[in-house]
A = this chain, B = another copy of it.
């Protein structure tokens, strides 16, 4: 397929690289920021575009990989193009893509960072369209990247995104809080890496419910009190400690 990418962030970068590797042709990369536009365009041998109104109308597929707030505006600018228009957002409904005959959603469930390669073959991709032929086309496109392609309507995609926020964004933030606890006491974050690795590896085999360890699940009140006492000068951390410990106790009755 001949593809135009709108956006140059983490999702755009990884997705365009994967699509190019799978044999697709990236015609243009749009970003308001010339530097970002040129950087990604260079990576995937595309033309950099920095004016929304100059995007070509001749592509087969337009991938809108911008922040949720900006999807509507981009959609507006793509009026008149004949190709299939998709966005990559977890939480935005398909229906935001108004005015196109062929529209869909192409949502890869993964966390993407610049400078880090990911293997698309293992990434679940969820597609949606209100046109059965487009849906089939998007499934084929997903299967050109991964072995895990699924259909999911906007409601189920939102559920997936919420679950991903808990499992990924919030977990990563807890790593950040742990790192700050260590750093403030001149201890290196390095010592936690095997633990973090094992915590994620465990649930590949057993359910996270079964895998739960720590003071809260074993009702070790003495340890929890000692931790809260130690955290009393950092009310922000103490509050999170308190709420998540309580949540573990409620969940593991």
Contacts and interface: CB of A to CB of B under 8 A. Distances in A.
B222 A68 contact: yes
A175 to B, nearest CB: 4
Report, as a range, how many residues of chain A touch the other chain. Answer: 35 or more
The complex is assembled from copies of this chain, and their number is 2
A143 interface: no
A195 interface: yes
A182 B198 CA distance: 23
A243 B235 CA distance: 13
A45 interface: no
A236 B247 contact: yes
B172 A211 contact: yes
Given A163-B181, A199-B111, A199-B200, A171 B171 contact: yes
Interface string A68-91: 110000000000000000000111
B179 A209 contact: yes
Contact of A176 (B111, B196, B212, B240): B212
B181 A159 contact: yes
Interface stretch (A20-28, A30-38, A224-232): A224-232
Contacts of A176: 207-209, 212, 251
A1 interface: no
Given A124-B194, A177-B166, A247-B177, A116 B160 contact: no
B226 A158 contact: yes
Pick from A165, A197, A243 the residue with the most CB of B within 10 Å. A165
B243 A247 contact: no
B10 A123 contact: no
A196 B173 contact: no
Contacts of A191: 109, 124, 148, 150, 160
A175 B208 contact: yes
A56 interface: no
B172 A199 contact: yes
Pick from A191, A207, A230 the residue with the most CB of B within 10 Å. A191
A111 B213 contact: yes
